Amino acid sequence: MFDFLEGYNVLEAFWTTVQLTVLSAVGSLIWGTLLAGMRVSPVPLMRGFGTAYVNIVRNIPLTVIIVFTSLGLADIFGVTLGSRDFDVQGFRLAVLGLIAYTAAFVCEAIRSGINTVPLGQAEAARAIGLSFSQTLRLIILPQAFRSVIGPLANVLIALTKNTTVAAAIGVAEAALLMKEMIENEAQVLLIAAVFAFGFVVLTLPTGLFFGWLSKRLAVKR
Amino acid sequence: MTEVSVAKEDVAATGELVVLKNVNKHFGALHVLQDIDLTIARGEVVVVIGPSGSGKSTLCRTINRLETIDSGTIAIDGKPVPAEGKALAKLRADVGMVFQSFNLFAHKTVLENVMLGQIKVRKTDKKQAEEKARSLLDRVGVGSQADKYPAQLSGGQQQRVAIARALAMDPKVMLFDEPTSALDPEMINEVLEVMQQLARDGMTMIVVTHEMGFARSAANRVVFMADGRIVEEAVPDQFFSNPRSDRAKDFLSKILHH
């Protein structure tokens, strides 16, 4: 029944999906946290930049961003990201695009977490002489993160599925292989089912793990 | 009376530590601090009392600039309070603050709460910071709770940890913003006892409180505020037995008869 899978390396395609997801997740977590820091910063210029970034980037379709990284950044501006190899370059550009896009959502999740931390925590931190960045790093963000593990898991699951957009610039991940198989094989429904199942296998444990983590790390008040 | 006046001469000799001159602040249309002049000498314990909304908490919070002021000057140890940045953080490290709602860092243990400022602000090494934290926790009577999280402690214990956290910075002056107002009645005394001990040890303290017993026994001076103004300043005995202003008489008649 599954002999249509022969000649296709489904696992390798999903491995690329996993790599896209993990690298983009780490990158967007870092960039998103920095953006959240900017959005609550006392410096108007940084606040303005953070707000503008989030509102512009999260309202552009991911496809447009990913296609721009290839046609715009690479072809027009000559950004190579350290590789002339088309596949490697495409992969890196896709990660860059995914980070830029996902960070906007990470930022907003973290910012809502920052809002759950009582004002008194920041006042107490400032009162013992901690600077703004120390207060943010040592007191506010650690508590904010713990309260938004659930929403961050949502962002991560969305990111996992969003990696399929990288197919638009030819990154050999799961969705690109699915498209190729649908073109060449007859069992369209089965092929779709196999890939759907693959994504559920990736995202379902993510959701469960983060749910558990969120309960475990909750800050008691 | 003689005892009190002797104490006042003592502190006068050691100089002025906190000086507020002509301080004004508005919250929108509300003129919450009006021409406040207040000088606190080194080693002095000043209790600020007054009806709610009189601006006493705001006054306390302006001293380490948790609230900004619209005009006037505030100086601590001869230096004006900086507006922002590193200089302000440095000043705040020298001014201990205890809040009504404790505000212990919820994600850190009691011990870590008391160590954090020493390590990150004073750059004390970890071992020394822990030693000092443990001895301060013992001093306020919560040494056995060092490894618990704030939420596992009673309100009175949390507030005593908060005092230890402030003391860990070796502050020049301690601000108490209604430190017992959020406590269950049976826990108020354990906090007041710690504060009384501090006062006896010579700490300069500015205490906003409704605890008249503490004002009587520990204060060098009572400052009575109403409607954003300092209405009356006197030694406790004089203030409680023979208030001069009508506002103070009215206030005391409402709180002291039971």
pLDDT for B1 equals 39
What chain A holds in terms of domains, given with CATH numbers, is: 3-216 (1.10.3720.10)
- Band of pLDDT at residue B257, cut at 50, 70 and 90: low
Residues on chain A touching B66 (C-beta within 8 angstroms): 123, 126-127
| Global pTM value | 0.85
Residues on chain A touching B64 (C-beta within 8 angstroms): 127
Provide, rounded to the nearest whole percent, the portion of chain B with pLDDT above 70.
93
SS3 A220: coil
Residue A1 makes CB contacts below 8 A (sequence gap 6+) with A190
User: Which of A144, A168, A148, A167 lies closest to A156, judged by CA?
Assistant: A148
- Band of pLDDT at residue B255, cut at 50, 70 and 90: confident
Q: What is the mean pLDDT of chain A?
A: 92
Higher pLDDT, B207 or A82: B207
Q: What domain range includes position B118?
A: 16-254
pLDDT for A5 equals 81
Residues on chain B touching A220 (C-beta within 8 angstroms): 106, 149, 151-152
- Band of pLDDT at residue A74, cut at 50, 70 and 90: confident
Q: What is the mean pLDDT of chain B?
A: 90
Two structure tokens written together for A27: 């990158």
A130 touching chain B per CB within 8 A: yes
- Band of pLDDT at residue A3, cut at 50, 70 and 90: confident
pLDDT for B14 equals 58
- Among chain A residues, the shortest Cα distance to B100 is held by A120
Q: Is the ipTM of this complex over 0.85?
A: yes
The continuous run of DSSP H or E covering A21 comes out as: helix A10-39
pLDDT for B6 equals 42
Helices (H), A117-186: 119-127, 132-134, 141-147, 149-162, 174-184
Kindly tell me if the per-residue pLDDT of B173 is higher than 70: yes
pLDDT for A2 equals 76
Provide, rounded to the nearest whole percent, the portion of chain B with pLDDT above 90.
80
Q: What is the DSSP letter of A80?
A: -
pLDDT for B78 equals 87
Average pLDDT over residues B35-47: 94
**Residues 25-84, chain A: which have Cβ within 8 Å of B?**
42
Q: Verify whether the Cβ–Cβ distance B106 to A125 is below 8 Å.
A: no
pLDDT for A7 equals 83
Residues on chain A touching B173 (C-beta within 8 angstroms): none
Which amino acid belongs to residue B183? L
- Band of pLDDT at residue B53, cut at 50, 70 and 90: confident
A141-166: pLDDT as tens digits: 999 999 999 999 999 999 999 999 99
* Distance of alpha carbon B116 from alpha carbon A126, whole angstroms: 12
pLDDT for B258 equals 55
pLDDT for A100 equals 97
pLDDT for B9 equals 43
pLDDT for A82 equals 78
Give a yes or no: residue B43 inside a domain.
Answer: yes
Q: How far is A31 from chain B (nearest CA, A)?
A: 24
* Distance of alpha carbon B205 from alpha carbon B42, whole angstroms: 9
C-beta separation of B240 from B228 below 8 A: no
Kindly tell me if the per-residue pLDDT of A206 is higher than 70: yes
B101-129: pLDDT as tens digits: 999 999 999 999 999 999 999 999 999 99
Q: Verify whether the Cβ–Cβ distance B99 to A123 is below 8 Å.
A: yes
Classify strands B16-27 and B71-76 as parallel, antiparallel or unpaired: antiparallel
Kindly tell me if the per-residue pLDDT of A186 is higher than 90: no
B83 touching chain A per CB within 8 A: no
Higher pLDDT, A100 or B256: A100
Give a yes or no: residue B8 inside a domain.
Answer: no
Q: How far is CA B217 from CA A189, B71, B172, B214, B236, in A?
A: 84, 34, 22, 5, 8
Question: Of B101, B102, B120, which has the smallest distance from its Cβ to A130's Cβ?
Answer: B120
A interface test, pick of B66, B95, B120, B163 with most A CB neighbours within 10 Å: B120
B143-156: pLDDT as tens digits: 999 999 999 999 99
CATH of the domain at B50: 3.40.50.300
Highest mean pLDDT, choosing among A182-186, B137-141, B251-255: B137-141
**B125-136 exposure pattern, b = at least 16 Cβ within 10 A, e = fewer:** eeeebbebbbeb
Q: Verify whether the Cβ–Cβ distance B121 to A125 is below 8 Å.
A: no
CA angle A176, A74, A99 (to 5 degrees): 65
Residue B45 makes CB contacts below 8 A (sequence gap 6+) with B199, B203, B204, B205, B207, B218, B219, B220, B221
The region, left, alpha or beta by phi > 0 then psi within -120 to 50, assigned to residue B254 is alpha
The residue to which tokens 């961050």 are assigned: A152
pLDDT for A153 equals 95
pLDDT for B12 equals 44
Domains of chain B: total: 1
B interface test, pick of A116, A128, A221 with most B CB neighbours within 10 Å: A128
Q: What is the DSSP letter of A171?
A: -
Give a yes or no: residue B204 inside a domain.
Answer: yes
